[in-house]
């Protein structure tokens, strides 16, 4: 069983010296080392999240975890206040080493950020008309040239 922190604990120091914040994905466990990463699954609805151990507790024999407000929201356990959970160690020292395939995709999208399709400019190459082959000058057919005859006769008469 797991429960979540009451509002009176937020803003106070946890057992490892951190300030407890509602928005963090953290939990309290009686014996696991601080920094241990746990995948916690709510057995009633299969909702899950990964939390980091940063506190000691809960101090009830029937419970194994106290989770932060954000973790409780992701596990959807506010209605009952407690939930039957499965907790599996998936990392250490604040680093998740084992993860579900769908969480790998989610986490990688968080690293990349939202799609920026509207900011991407596609540069299209200019449309260039195909070059026409250069025209080669037509060669004039070779013809025999005729001598020009002038109207004045350039023939000299022979003297007798």
CB within 8 Å of 33: residues ≥ 6 apart:
53, 92
21 vs 79, higher pLDDT: 21
pLDDT of residue 110: 54
Q: pTM score > 0.85 for this model?
A: no
| 77 has a pLDDT exceeding 70 | yes
pLDDT of residue 114: 57
User: Count of CB atoms within 10 A of residue 97's CB?
Assistant: 10
pLDDT, tens only, 29-66: 999 999 999 999 999 999 999 999 999 999 888 999 99
Please report which residue ranges of the chain form alpha helices under DSSP H: 69-75, 101-112
In degrees rounded to 5, what are phi and psi of residue 28? -115, 135
pLDDT, tens only, 116-156: 555 556 666 777 776 776 676 677 766 665 555 555 555 55
What is the arithmetic mean of pLDDT over 106-110? Answer: 55
10 vs 137, higher pLDDT: 10
| CA distances for 50 relative to 54, 89, 91, 147, angstroms | 13, 9, 10, 107
Strand partners, 156: none
pLDDT of residue 98: 75
């Amino acid at each position: 069983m797991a429960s979540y922190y009451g509002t009176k604990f937020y803003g106070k120091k946890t057992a490892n010296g951190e300030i407890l914040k509602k928005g963090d994905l953290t939990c309290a466990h009686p014996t696991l080392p601080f920094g241990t990463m746990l995948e916690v699954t709510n057995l009633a609805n299969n909702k899950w999240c990964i939390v980091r151990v940063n506190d000691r507790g809960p101090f009830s024999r029937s419970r194994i975890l106290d989770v932060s407000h954000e973790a409780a929201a992701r596990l959807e356990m506010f209605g009952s206040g407690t939930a039957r959970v499965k907790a599996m160690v998936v990392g250490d020292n604040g680093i998740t080493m084992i993860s579900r395939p769908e969480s790998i995709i989610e986490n990688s999208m968080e690293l990349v950020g939202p799609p920026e399709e509207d900011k991407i400019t596609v540069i299209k190459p200019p449309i260039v008309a195909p070059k026409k082959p250069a025209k080669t000058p037509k060669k004039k057919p070779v013809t025999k040239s005729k001598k020009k005859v002038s109207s004045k006769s350039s023939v000299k008469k022979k003297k007798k």
